[in-house]
Every structure is written in structure tokens, then in C-alpha cells.
Amino acid sequence: MTAPAPTTLRLRRERVPAVLVLEDGRSFHGQAYGAVGETFGEAVFNTGMSGYQETLTDPSYHRQVVVMTAPQIGNTGWNDEDDESRRIWVAGFVVRDPARVPSNWRSLRPLDEELATQGVVGISGIDTRALTRHLRERGAMRVGIFSGPALADEQALLSRVLQAPEMKGADLCAEVATTEPYIVPAVGEKRFTVAAVDLGIKAMTPQRMAERGIEVHVLPANSTVEDIYAVNPDGVFFSNGPGDPATADHQVAVMQGVLERKTPLFGICFGNQILGRALGFGTYKLKYGHRGINQPVQDRTTGKVEVTAHNHGFAVNAPLDKVSDTPYGRAQVSHVCLNDDVVEGLQCLDTPAFSVQYHPEAAAGPHDAAYLFDRFVDLMAGAPAARTTAGS
Ligand SMILES: NC(=O)CC[C@H](N)C(=O)O
């Protein structure tokens, strides 16, 4: 018997009913998209008009059900080049109007086929604008997507959503990070060695460093200070990653060991939250987070505004209007989101360390913030301006 053509499979799935049930009882009815079945996670929305392949494969989305606000998704299909990690991590995918036929010179297969192959349950045909407004008003919350020919009644589905774990307090880095160290070689002449602690690293991050002559030693999430210094690094990096930064006690202690040794240090996203905690600041959960590729951020050390890629549901609680005294010397908020004044970057003034809450690797997203990788290089090169004021 020959297997049905992908188009036939897709048309069959489109006839399968699906329902999305939020933990506050609101529900949306649509059709199955990707795998048929059920899934649970934290409902969040992403405002990117493009870059769904990078979003789906970003390990920071582990355990999150991502709602795309752009109405048409899947138009450019799926390729074997743009993955940010080894698999799709989102717990579920929510779209309004999926492409029936992808069209792009790099596309190898349709998005819904890839979702189905990787077992990712999605829903299509729902009012994603109404859902996004609901999440903005009520905040990110738990959700379930259920699809199949015979769905249970909504009250029963809701009680299952309420049993799913919350994102607050979730310790997830070790579930996504590499278990074995590996090396991303420098492109061209090698200038520096960096130990990069993988908390859910995106592939483009070591790539952006390699392009600048850095040999990147990617290390598991539970690496110790000794593991880091065993690679004899010129700089240390802490990556993005899923879950609640309040759970990352081990990584905070390791980073404090790096700060004590005054090795040049750079952190992105989860890495920024860990630097915040290492300096003695707290972290908190945002109401609905920042996810997309069009977020305005001001670099307060230069005054410049950049349009940036974000994916964070937590943030650092640090004073915006003063330099703080920390156990590692003076520190300040270097970057701030112009939409809501959320802390988007930290900079130590007496230790060569800095971090940003957003994504200078820009996968996907604008390249405005690529200069941050150059700042890291300057720190490792011992540029005096970089060491004392990092660009002010
Ligand atoms: N992309 C990230 O590193 C996200 C960090 C953290 N999990 C948050 O949601 O805020």
C-alpha cells in the first residue's frame, strides 16, 4: 500500500477538530495543525512577522505554547539550514491561517509536515488576535491544545490544564542543554578561547563568536568553575535558556566564581538574569513577556536605540536611575526596553562583565545589536575603554 501524499495528509488533518483551553476557562475552537493529539504548556505570543523556524527550534521556548500574532504562517516552508538547535522545542503552536502550499527557494517541506514529524501538536484557524489580547490582559497562563475526532467536554479538558506545571519555579536548562562539551572552531585565524555555558544555547550564538576569531568551547549547564577554567578561556559566556532564573542557583554560584577571577564575561537572556542574580539583584516574572523581533531597546551607555529580537518571560529587578554597589564592584543598567522600561542589559563598572536580556545573535531578527559581540572581543583584548566603561 502506498502512503498518502503529504497534501492528502494535510487535508485530512484540517478536517480534524481541535480546541485550545486556557487555564482561566476561555477556549478557542479550530482545526488540528501539525501532530494530532494533546499538549500542555505556558501560552505566550510572538510578534515576529518572519522567523518561525528559528522560534520553533529556540530551546528557550521549551514547555511554551507559542501563539504567532502574524496571521499567515508557514509561507516559506521548512529548510535544513535555519534550525537554532537539534529539534523543535515549543510545546505547541498556534496559528491563524496556515499556508497551504509553501513557496521559497530553500523550502524542503511544509511546516505542518515538519511539526507532525516531530510530534508537535498545533491548532490553526483560531482568532489569534483575540487570544493575544486576552493574554495581554490576563497574563501568560497555562494552556492545553487537544485535537482528535472525539474531544472530551471542556470542563474535563480544563481540569487537565490545571494539573500542568507552571513556568514560575520551572528548572529546565538541563533538559535542553548539551550533555557533552563540544567545540565550535574559530573562522579564520583564532584570536580567543571562550567557555560558553550552554543553558539552551542557540546555534547562531557560537557562530557569531566564531566569525570574530573566537574558538567556542560549549559546556553542559551543570559545568563547574573548574570545568570552565580547564579550557583556559580568555572569556566566559552564559547562554539563553528556558525556565525560571530563580532556580539557577548552581549557575549563579559558578558565575560568581568567574566574576571573582575578573575573567571577561558576557551573558545573553538567561545569562543576563544569572548576572543580575550574581550581583545581588532579584528576578521576577513579567505579565506576558517580550517575544518577537521588533522590540525597541536603548543602549544607555551610548544613547542609541536599536530594534532587537526578544524572547523572555522573566526580567531582572535592578534600579534604572543609579549605579548600584554590588559584591563585585559598581554595576548599572546598560540597556532598557523603550516599550515598558524593563531592564534589558547590565554592565559591571569594576569587573569586565556585561549582559543583555535580548538576542544580539539575531536569529531571527534585526542585526542592530551585533556590536555586543565586538564589545565582548574588546573586553578580551583588554581594551581600556571597554574594561572600565564598556563603550560609554
Ligand atoms: N531566552 C531566554 O534565555 C529566556 C530566559 C528565561 N527563560 C525567560 O523566559 O525570561
pLDDT for 384 equals 55
Mutate to test the pocket of ligand 1, among 54, 270, 272 (most ligand atoms within 8 A of CB): 270
Residue 390 DSSP code: T
Asked about 269 being catalytic, the answer comes back as yes
pLDDT for 15 equals 86
Mean pLDDT per segment of 10 residues, for the chain of length 392 residues? 54 80 98 98 97 98 98 98 98 97 97 98 98 98 96 95 97 98 98 98 98 98 98 98 98 98 98 98 98 97 97 98 97 98 98 98 96 98 58 39
pLDDT for 22 equals 98
Radius of gyration of the chain (CA): 21
∠ CA(78), CA(82), CA(84), 5° rounding? Answer: 120
**Domains of the chain: residue spans and CATH:** 6-161 (3.50.30.20), 173-389 (3.40.50.880)
Cβ 93 vs Cβ 120: under 8 Å = yes
Residue list, annotated binding site for L-glutamine: 60, 241, 243, 270, 273, 311, 313-314
Q: Whose CA is nearest to atom 3 of ligand 1?
A: 240
- Residue 320, Cβ density class (10 Å: 0-12 exposed, 13-18 middle, ≥19 buried): exposed
pLDDT for 38 equals 98
Cβ 79 vs Cβ 54: under 8 Å = no
Q: Which amino acid is at 108?
A: L
pLDDT for 227 equals 98
Q: What is the full DSSP assignment across 281-318?
A: -EEEEEEEEEEEEEEEEEETTT--EEEEEEEEEEEEE-
Ligand 1 atom, smallest distance to 314 CA: 10
Catalytic residue among 113, 173, 269, 306: 269
pLDDT for 387 equals 45
pLDDT for 114 equals 98
> Could you report the predicted ipTM of this complex, rounded to two decimals?
0.98
